[in-house]
Amino acid sequence: MSDSTSVPSNGDRVYRLLLIDRDPIFRLGLRVALNPFPDVQIVAEATTVEEAWQFIQSTSVTIDLVVLDPQTTSTSSEATGWGFCQQLKSAYPQLPILVLSSLVSGTLLLNSSAGIVNGYCPKGTDINLIIAAIRETAAGKSYWEQVAPLLPVSWRERWRQSGLEQIDSTLTQVKKKLENRQLSLLDWLFWRGRQRELKTARWMVERVLPGDSFMKVELPGNVGRSPLHETSDSTSSQSIPPLLPNSTRSAFEPIFETTRIKLALGVENQTSIPLEIDILKPNKKYLLLEIILTNFQELVRQLQKSQLTLTQVEEKSQEILQDLWQVSITDFFGKYYTLSVDKSNYQVVDILLTNLPVVRRSILDKIPLFNTLLGYLVYQESLEIAGIKYEFGSSTAWQKAEILLQNLTIQVANSVIQPLLNSFGELEEIKTVFYQEKLLSSREIARFRNELSWKYRREKYLDEPIAIFESRYWLYVLKNGSIQTISIYAPRREELEKLQGIRLTVTILLELRDAIAPRLRAIVSFASGVTVYLLTQVIGKGLGLIGKGILQGIGTTLQETRWRRNSDRRS
């Protein structure tokens, strides 16, 4: 073993790596750590052995080394990283494999002795040693850290597999329960919590009891056909575009999971602003927000699988937002939901979708920073807000992306309910199924709709011009089990220059107030000071002198009276 300083220079040789690990934080950290070493490049990443195999079968990119953690590369108990290593070595015997893992078992030594694994390095090792391991194994050599082999114990392995099978079986049953959309909110929360507990238990078993036996991996496709080790000069008519540069497709998933947890904690509107979703029953409101979040998550996955560039996605952003709105309406109400009114049948979804121009003008087109959010989630671009770039994976970028995602979800939910209120707001069937009990009467519904109408007028002529003039956006977020509002700074100079009529007048009045108010306050303050001085120092003192003179005169008169009385007595 030796560090990077003792490794001979590779000249122009560049080692291309395929990294397989389920942990997105580890993959991101390794990629960043390898940036200073130009001769080592991660050209592709995968979260599972199945995804890695699909990449190998379809790509024309030359791979010099496969780096993986066998303990975290499988999605099921029937398939393991060790089985994948066997299959891969059988199909491509010249392709070296380097294990980066914090858990080592006797299987590792068995595989190494069989020529399956070419090297091993523990996670957490100094980056120079990892670079040395990568260079040596990619060059066809072996690299081994000192490991203490653990002999496989058959009873422990049987115990482990039995436990994992039971957990997987229960997870399947829980998943079926969660797919039932008739569940109440409390039941959904219960089964969701049960699912998290089982996944945590499975994760603990996989790490506390690492597997010690070979497992067969069912890999798709023909094992014998792949251009993996063709030279760079060879051509392939079926080459695929390179994978995303900074992370794999699952890197954005935790943001959605965090938002789901906050949705489960509560979605009561605690702002002073009425929202369309306020009319819904609590379980219907939650269901709608969950549907929109899930649909947007799937939409991001589809965009990642597409061959669109970031510029193309930005150009299609309004079309993407429109698709999200349409599919959310369909999923929430049901594609074939029909209402009978005056002996006529109406397809609810078809009628609601005709309201798109109004919905876009009032809500969808005003959702801020949607392009920025797409770039962050789909392409793992830096999150740029107000000219400041927040690197993908940083805590600040995570928090701001989560805020944008929550605002998007809430606003799209409002846009789903708005056409319902306009088209079928007074129908008894709609009121019974969707509305809160306190908003069932015609009077309350009319009051609610009037409040919404006033809100949009106020936003158009007052709140929005003020926000533009102050260079900020107001966003809806999930906080402390409720919906609240926050503001973020963002330059809006172009919008300010386009303001006309009353909206422009509002900004002019604000500017005049800002210009006059300080001077007026100074004048009032000066006048107040002068008034206080006159009252206390001039008039007050004058009155004081007058009062003092009166008191002195009264005192003299009393003394004279007493003297006269005394004189009369003596006489």
Claim to verify: residue 169 and residue 302 sit in the same structural domain:
no
Is 530 part of a structural domain of the chain? Answer: no
Is 64 part of a structural domain of the chain? Answer: yes
Is 87 part of a structural domain of the chain? Answer: yes
Last residue of a domain, one of 144, 167, 198: 144
Question: Which residues are 340's β-sheet partners?
Answer: 345
CB proximity list for 137: less than 8 A, separation 6 or greater: 65, 96, 97, 98, 118, 119, 143
Is 484 part of a structural domain of the chain? Answer: no
Claim to verify: residue 158 and residue 260 sit in the same structural domain:
no
pLDDT averaged per 10 residues, the chain (length 571): 38 82 81 86 85 81 86 51 76 86 56 68 82 88 63 55 77 81 77 80 66 41 37 32 39 81 86 92 91 92 86 89 94 88 86 93 92 89 84 84 94 95 88 89 90 89 86 90 89 84 85 80 81 76 74 71 67 61
Is 160 part of a structural domain of the chain? Answer: yes
Claim to verify: residue 188 and residue 274 sit in the same structural domain:
no
**201: closest CA among 231, 173, 226, 170?**
170
Is 458 part of a structural domain of the chain? Answer: no
The two tokens of residue 189 are 């929360």
Question: For position 387, what pLDDT does the model report?
Answer: 79
Claim to verify: residue 270 and residue 329 sit in the same structural domain:
yes
Rounded Cα distance between 294 and 119, Å, is: 41
Claim to verify: residue 275 and residue 134 sit in the same structural domain:
no
Claim to verify: residue 384 and residue 328 sit in the same structural domain:
yes
Claim to verify: residue 168 and residue 135 sit in the same structural domain:
no
Claim to verify: residue 17 and residue 96 sit in the same structural domain:
yes
Rounded Cα distance between 214 and 142, Å, is: 22
Question: For position 460, what pLDDT does the model report?
Answer: 85
Q: What is the CATH number of the domain that holds 43?
A: 3.40.50.2300
CB proximity list for 240: less than 8 A, separation 6 or greater: 58, 59, 60
Question: For position 386, what pLDDT does the model report?
Answer: 79
Question: For position 208, what pLDDT does the model report?
Answer: 61
Claim to verify: residue 50 and residue 139 sit in the same structural domain:
yes
Q: Which domain holds residue 339?
A: 253-435
Last residue of a domain, one of 435, 460, 493: 435
Claim to verify: residue 391 and residue 342 sit in the same structural domain:
yes
Distance of CA 477 to the CA centre of its chain: 11
Is 506 part of a structural domain of the chain? Answer: no
Question: For position 157, what pLDDT does the model report?
Answer: 61
Claim to verify: residue 103 and residue 185 sit in the same structural domain:
no
Is 565 part of a structural domain of the chain? Answer: no
- Say how many Å lie between the first and final Cα of the chain, rounded: 133
Claim to verify: residue 280 and residue 389 sit in the same structural domain:
yes
Question: For position 353, what pLDDT does the model report?
Answer: 93
Question: For position 571, what pLDDT does the model report?
Answer: 61
418 contacts 362 by C-beta, under 8 angstroms:
yes
Count of domains for the chain: 3
